[in-house]
Structure 1
Amino acid sequence: MADLVYRKVMRDIKKRILNSEYPEMKLPDERTLSKIYKVSRSSIKRALGILAQQGIIFKKRGSGTFINPLYLKNRAMFNYEGSNIGITDSFQLDGKQQGIQLLDYKVIPASAEIQQDLFLEPDEFVYKIRRLRLADNDPFIIETGYIPIRIAPTLSPAVVKGSIFNYLEKDKGKAVTRSFMTISVSPSQHQDHQYLNLRVEEPVALMEGIFFLDDGTPFEVSNMRVHYKYMKYNTFVNLNEE
């Protein structure tokens, strides 16, 4: 899937923000940015619009566009900005190398709950994939996902040892672009003590959600148990329609 111009601009601006390349925490105006990147004003406007939605920049009428200082102080672990919203590309780990250890891979009949969540027929089967995600060699997520076989019939153990979403995009021409997520905290369980090295008295963060393809098809139901030290999530609220 070809990357869009505004995404490349957005990534570069964000990179420059993190490298402190904008003096006085202020971005050039749209016309100047259009000349710098050799793209249309509409592409610049869209890139800046997304950065504003993420709370990274803000516009002050009559003064220009400024960088949100709290973003630099409290960067979230999640950074959805590419063409899919997979953990491999979206989880920020301060330069650490991500790794995946496959814990379990099997084909099972879809339960009534999974049938409902993924809009499946009663006789359909799903992959049940359980993986441990690593930051360098430090475990940070136990991930359990359920994916319909009919949507990804060639999802082999070799594939799921890497990024499933990237495989889907590069090899199958489909992208996971939407999700509904619930984030909560729970007392840690035996699996958290075993795989995440949590102590009995330490909590674990839970991320549960459904991921959708770009055509709206439910693709995966996922449950992620996240080590609390890696759990940081920012949100930005804007009541204006602009």
Structure 2
Amino acid sequence: MIPKYLQVAGQIESDITQHVYQKTNKLLTEDEYAAKYQVSRNTVRKAIEILVNKGYVYQVQGSGAFIRNHHNSGYVNLEKLQGVTNDFSDRLVENKLLDFTVITADEELAQNMGCKIGSPIYYVKRLRYVDGDPFSIETSYFNKNLVKYLDENIVKKSIYTYLRNDQQLAIGFADRVIRADYLMSEQAGLLGLKENDPALVVDNTVYLINGAIFDYSQSVHHFKHVKLLKVSNMKGS
């Protein structure tokens, strides 16, 4: 079972991404959250610490926790599970749908997604553009038992915005593996590069707050266009 503080952190994170605190740019107090979620102040404190480490908020002693206003347009934020559309909210993000179908999980996919062999899986492959430039090839597998509905209109837009706002999925955390590789012929053609050009590849396994894997994906990025952001929280000893 997922600890309560992770559940609270996920709920507050969802509120932040939906701009609930836009007017004040400040979180509620520990006491207000404790009453709202029926948890202890210590649980709230742990939840807010997670959000600090993920780069969502910063704390001012005696004043509370405030939403960070990143001036980092052009970066994929490795800490925030919000998707390319929200990472580049001030730029034009477009998607070309390459494939969309429902498949069944084979042994390898079932193992990677923590589901049963034969489970229904949404398979989505998209070429993503930022300001008209090819940015990444994104191949995703969504567990259909958890992601109840997708269609072509949805996957041509921001999938994560839909999952959060319409399906109310409580997205928790992700394992992200970043590696360098060489482009294969098809990938190079889609990205406007040459075969064996370098690529930055990000493998994602994304969980709900209850620990269930709903998204297993890979993004192959155009090496000239992608920048990755990792927030480091420097604490004094």
Contact 2:17 2:82 in 1 (8 A): no
Paired letter, 1:89:
N
> Where does residue 230 of structure 2 map in the other structure?
235
1:92-144 Cα deviation digits (max 9, x unpaired): 38x43001110001122212121012121122121211001111221111011
TM-score normalised to the size of structure 1? 0.67
Paired letter, 1:193:
A
In structure 2, which of residues 135, 138, 156 is the aligned counterpart of residue 140 of structure 1? 135
> Where does residue 79 of structure 1 map in the other structure?
77
Paired letter, 2:75:
M
- State the alpha-carbon separation in 1 of the partners of residues 149 and 18 from structure 2: 30
Does 1:154 find its partner at 2:149?
yes
> Where does residue 121 of structure 1 map in the other structure?
116
- State the alpha-carbon separation in 1 of the partners of residues 132 and 74 from structure 2: 21
- State the alpha-carbon separation in 1 of the partners of residues 55 and 25 from structure 2: 21
Does 1:130 find its partner at 2:128?
no
**Structure 2 CA distance for partners of 1:241 and 1:128, relative to 1, 3 Å:** farther
**Structure 2 CA distance for partners of 1:122 and 1:55, relative to 1, 3 Å:** closer
Contact 1:102 1:161 in 2 (8 A): yes
Structure 1: give runs of 5+ residues left out of the alignment: 13-35, 62-70
Aligned length: 204
Write the mapping of 1:30-69 to structure 2, written as runs, cut at 5 A. 50=51, 54=55
TM-score normalised to the size of structure 2? 0.68
Structure 1 or 2, whichever has the larger Rg, is: 1
Shift of 1:9: 9.4
Shift of 1:52: 6.8
- Ranked by relative contact order (alpha carbons within 8 Å, sequence separation 6 or more), the top structure is 2
Structure 2: give runs of 5+ residues left out of the alignment: 1-10, 33-44, 62-69
* Secondary structure, counterpart of 1:229 in structure 2: coil
> Where does residue 65 of structure 1 map in the other structure?
none
Contact 1:77 1:230 in 2 (8 A): no
> Where does residue 194 of structure 1 map in the other structure?
189
Shift of 1:10: 8.6
Does 1:174 find its partner at 2:169?
yes
> Where does residue 89 of structure 1 map in the other structure?
86
Identity, in percent, stands at: 24
- State the alpha-carbon separation in 2 of the partners of residues 183 and 126 from structure 1: 24
Instruction: Return structure 1 stretches of 4+ with deviation > 4 angstroms.
Output: 5-12, 36-43, 45-53, 55-59, 236-242
**Structure 2 CA distance for partners of 1:78 and 1:6, relative to 1, 3 Å:** closer
